[in-house]
Structures are given as structure tokens and as C-alpha cells.
Structure 1
Amino acid sequence: MRKSTMPRRAAIRCLTSGLLAIASSSALIPATQAASPYPGDQPIRLVVPFGPGGLADISMRLVAQKLGERFNEKVIIDNRPGAGGIVAANVVRTSPKDGHTLIVFANGTAISKSLFNLPFDPEKDFTPISTVAYFDLILLTNPKGKIHNMADLLAEGRKRPLTLGTINPGSTQNLSAALFNSTAKLDNATVIPFKTTAEVMATLVRGDVDVAFESYAALKGPIDAGTLQPIATTSAKRSTWLPNVPTVKESGLPTYEVTGWNALYAPAGTPPEVIETIHHQLTEVLQMPDLRKRFEDLGTEAQISTPQEMSAIMHRDVTLWADVIKQSGIPRQ
């Protein structure tokens, strides 16, 4: 007698029903329990350790707008100025390590590591994402004076003690002047710090100092108007905003080079996949022609790097400025 297939068919129907039930119940799991792509539905906070209106603030606002469009989420600028970037760094390093709170570091951050007793280590407590912008400093003179190029400056420095004007002690401008002093072997030259860029410009126009160190962005108006004369730039190559002004390197001091930068960092411990996502989107943003043009108008150049390259840049500049600070005798604050 043929065996009945009913029990077997019933078992198959039961198993199929069970699998369907599991699938149906899985579909009912709330979306919040499933991993969503970064940044999800949370805004991104970009902490800037400078006040509004400066080069870093303006350029990062441009980047924030473009990133927000690509992520389809708000990117909020949070200005937290303070000596050594301590206030800003504390906000970010104590935030969740999920990529929703980032910080802007600059070459001044590398200086701060040797200049201030920081409660954080920018190389250990934070993870680099990429550089954002590069910019140089400019050596400026009074066009009505005797110095019109680097040859004049070095020749004058052999005749008498020169005066080099900068903003406050420990700034990139101030230490760049100190580095220039030692590189050019101007033993009797004096670096004179002032509180503001306006004071530096005023003393240069009056003839109280021989040369000033400042960024193009800070003095664009008087430079373009011819009130101040740029005689050299500090980076390795000529800038696109002052293409006719030679570098210090090509003007007689081949070992001298100073490049300012801004970069994007996250708290240490941020997942690598989040760092990679931010880096990818930032790369796309920094290649946009309209953004690159806006950066150039500000006297800076949009520049992407890998996290590893940014780490090397930070370490290089920490070492460089530690030596300059030591030689200049600037006390730790």
C-alpha cells in the first residue's frame, strides 16, 4: 500500500509559514535599530577655534555649505576661540566619537603644542581627515622706502640692524620672522610684535619697521592699492594670487619655507569608515571650481591630503616650530 504524503506536505507548509512569519516580523523592526549611513539624520558640528570673520572661519563656512549639500544634512559652524585652541579642542575631544563633531586645526595648532601647556595632544587625541587649505605669508615693505626686493633687504641687513614687524608673540607670523632672522643670519635684527595687523601696517607705513610678515588675506586691500609692497612669499612655490612676487627660496634663501594650513580633524577613536566617508565628500567639495575660485580670492588654495599625509604635516610642523620657539627664547605659557 502507498504511504500517504499528507504529513510531509503539512510539514513543508508549516516550515514555509514559519519562515514567512520571521521575514514579516523582521520587516517590522524599527528603522532606528538598523545601521544608517553616516551622517544619518544628525547635523554635523564643525568647531572652529577662531572668531568669526577670519580666514579659517570664512573658508570653513564655504566648505560647510558644500558638505551640507552633499550629505543632505546641516553642517553647523561653532566658533570657539581661545588661547592655544584649548576651548575648541575640549569641546570636540569630549564629544561622541561618531563623526558628528569635528574640529579645524591649523599650523598654529602645531605651534601651540610647544608654546602652551595644553590639556590635550593634537597628535594623539585627534584623528586627521585631510588638509583643507594652504596659504603663505608675505614679506611686505613700504614702497616709498629703500627696500623693494629681497636683495635690498639682505643688503640693508648687512649694513645695519633691521626691524621685522609681526603680530603677537608665538603667532605663525611672529615665528616665521624669527625663522627668517636665523636663516638669513641677521644677527642684529629685531622681531617686534604688535597686538593687531592694523598696528603692523601702520608702523610699516610710518617707517618704524623695515619689513612685515603677514598673510595676503589680512592685508589684501592695502596690497592691491599699492600702499604696501610685497617683496617675497614664504611657501615653496609662487602663489596664484600674487604670481609676480617671488618666493624667499628663489630670492636667495633656499632653505627657508613657511606654509600655513587649515585641516579637518575628528576625535581619536572615530570609526575608520566614518573618516573615509568624510574624506571622500571633502575631496569632492575641494575640487569644485567655484569653491576653488572663492578660496583663491581669499588668498588661500584648496588642498586635499590623505589622513596619513596630514599626520606627517602636523608632526613636521610640531618639530619645526618647537626648535624655533626654543631658539627664540619664547617661554612656555
Structure 2
Amino acid sequence: MIFRTLRQRTRRILPWLLCLATFASFPALAADKYPSQPIRVIIPFGPGGLADISLRLVAQKLSERIGQQVVIENRPGAGGVVASNAALGAPRDGYTLIVFANGTAISKTLFKLPFDPVADFTPISTVAYFDLVLLTNSKGKLKTLPELLAEGKKRQLVLGTINPGSTQNLSAELFRSMAGVNAMVVPFKNTSEVLTALLRGDIDVMFESYAALKGAIDAGQVTPIAATGTSRSAWLPKVPVVRDEGVPGYEVTGWNALFAPGGVPADRIKYLNEQLNAVLKMPDVRQRLEALGTAAGGSTQQEMAAILQRDIDKWAAVIKQAGIPTQQY
């Protein structure tokens, strides 16, 4: 009698228990679904620059692919501190990411940072690569890199760049040390000032990205005499690279990449890597980035980590040789 009663009660209670178990599992299922909300990508630069424009393009395509909005948030600040603090202060759930660039590798040595880009962040993938360009005044007599190098044997050259510690500035310092010429590097506040100095004849050559000087190049004001990459670019196919024109081994390749704060689940990092690499292989994405003077290119997490460490070591040596002091952010 007692067992029959227990069986009857169990039959009555069991459906309710199953319902409760099902409802209780819903939060866990929702938590496992990624992404289930918008993803924020913090950029340590202001709007309108190469990194901002290219990442917005990639974010749009990534949004379409994953079915969630990828929102770009600009957080400029010295050494990327503002952006990095914002990323590190967010939950480690894969919904807040950050853009690192070759400037991040420079900042590791140049600034006393309150974070470590290697230890505190997880690489996802590279996004795009770009080189810098050496440009001379189109009305001047220096039309090729060999001519510039020959002139540097006769007198002191003046190399113009933007602010000390920038990729442009350190690229010029690296060139000065490797080219074996008499040269001095003069920094200016911004690209416009460097261009004005070049057109006025105050400097012999300037180091800058193609994107920043495209207007002056197209207008015939300046002549690109060499690029800093390892091979000729699609946007300046007639312009040789420095290493092939008299300075063997010289190479500067800029990059933008996607990172996450340390602690984000590995499966979410893997998912983001796969989706981002798929976007970067899209022909329309590659064409639109190329028009900006940058080449789309994804990577594995390990490859990105190696690129960051390589550039940290490279620029630390250049900064030391140039005698640039460590700065407060």
C-alpha cells in the first residue's frame, strides 16, 4: 500500500521536476551561445585614421557573418593606456576586444605602461598590414633612393617625421643607422607640418604612410622613392622597397590586429579567429582595404603573438640606439 502511494506521488511530481530541470538549464544554454549580444571593439586611435576606417569596414562584415553587431569605440590616448584600461576593466567574456598595432610594440619600451600587452592580453589575429613610404619634393633633384643615399655621402641629410617615438620617427632612425649616411631625424607635430617642411625645402625626405599622403602623391607634390616593406605594394607597384635599393635588411611593416583581455574562454578566442580570418579572405574586403593602402591578412594566435614579441624587441633596440628616453603616459 505504501509503495503504491509513493509510486502514485512520484508519477504526479515527476513532470514538474522535469519542467524545473528544463527551465533551470535555459541560462546555461544561453550562456554557452556565443555571441548572444553585441561585441565592442576598442580602438586606441581617434576616428578617421587608417586603423579606424579599416576596422570599421571589417567590423561591418564581421557583424553580418556572426549575426551580432560589432561596435567600434574610439579611445585615443598616449601609449594606448586609455583603451587598454577600458578593455581590462570589462568582463572577460569575449564581448570586449581591443585593437593593437605596431605602435603597441613601440609603447612597451617607450612608455611606463600600467599594463603588459603580452601578459595581460590574448592575441586573436592580425587584420591588415601596411608599409611606410619615403617621399621627396617632386620639384627637387632627389628622385630615387640611390640618389638620396649618394647625397648622404656628401652632406648631412634631414629626415622628417611626425612626433618622437612614432612608427614613422623610429623608421627614420632605423634607416639612419642602417643606411650608412650622414643624416639627422627631425620630428614635427603632425603630417601636415612635415609635408610643409618638405615642400619648403627644409627637409630632404619624409617618412609617412601612403594613406596619409595619397592626396599629395596624386597631386604630384611629392614623389614616393621607396617603401619600407619586404616587397612592392599593390597601391604603389612602381615604387621599389628600401632593402632592394641600397639598404639590405631594412624593413618596417605596420600592422593592426585584434586582441582580447586575458582570461577570455579559449573556445571564444578560437571562434573569433576563425570568423575574422573568413572575413579577411572576402574579395570585396581585400579590395576596399587595398584602396586604403593596406593589405588584408589574418593569422593564427601563435603567429600574432610572435609578431608582437618580434616588434617589441626590434623597436626596443632602435629606441635605445636613438637615445629616446622612456616617457610617462
> Which TM-score bucket, shorter chain as reference?
over 0.9
Q: Name stretches of at least 5 consecutive residues in structure 1 with no aligned partner.
A: 1-6
How far apart in 2 are the matches of 1:31 and 1:46?
A: 28
Question: Which residue, out of 293, 318, 321, partners 2:315?
Answer: 321
Question: Which residue, out of 233, 238, 251, partners 1:257?
Answer: 251
Superposition deviation, residue 289 in structure 1: 1.1
Q: In the alignment, what sits opposite 2:102?
A: 107
Q: In the alignment, what sits opposite 1:306?
A: 300
Q: In the alignment, what sits opposite 2:34?
A: 38
Q: In the alignment, what sits opposite 1:68?
A: 63
One-letter amino acid of the structure 2 residue matched with residue 305 of structure 1: S
Question: Which residue, out of 266, 271, 285, partners 2:265?
Answer: 271
How far apart in 2 are the matches of 1:100 and 1:141?
A: 45
Quick check: 1:55 aligned with 2:50? yes
How far apart in 2 are the matches of 1:234 and 1:13?
A: 82
Quick check: 1:224 aligned with 2:255? no
After TM superposition, the structure 1 stretch with the greater mean CA deviation from structure 2, 64-73 or 145-154, is 64-73
Aligned 1:1-333 pairs, distance under 5 A? 22-29=17-24, 31-34=26-29, 35-40=31-36, 42-186=37-181, 188-333=182-327
One-letter amino acid of the structure 2 residue matched with residue 53 of structure 1: G
Q: Which has the larger radius of gyration?
A: 1
Deviations 1:262-306, CA, capped at 9 Å, x for gaps: 000000111100100111110111111111111011100111011
One-letter amino acid of the structure 2 residue matched with residue 183 of structure 1: M
Deviations 1:191-212, CA, capped at 9 Å, x for gaps: 0100010111111111111010
One-letter amino acid of the structure 1 residue matched with residue 121 of structure 2: F
How far apart in 1 are the matches of 2:23 and 2:242?
A: 67
Superposition deviation, residue 120 in structure 1: 0.4
How far apart in 1 are the matches of 2:245 and 2:314?
A: 22
How far apart in 2 are the matches of 1:302 and 1:170?
A: 26
After TM superposition, the structure 1 stretch with the greater mean CA deviation from structure 2, 17-26 or 95-104, is 17-26
Superposition deviation, residue 23 in structure 1: 3.7
One-letter amino acid of the structure 1 residue matched with residue 32 of structure 2: S
Superposition deviation, residue 9 in structure 1: 11
TM-score normalised by structure 1 residue count: 0.93
Secondary structure of 1:219's counterpart equals helix
Secondary structure of 2:212's counterpart equals coil
How far apart in 2 are the matches of 1:24 and 1:92?
A: 39
TM-score normalised by structure 2 residue count: 0.94
Secondary structure of 1:169's counterpart equals coil
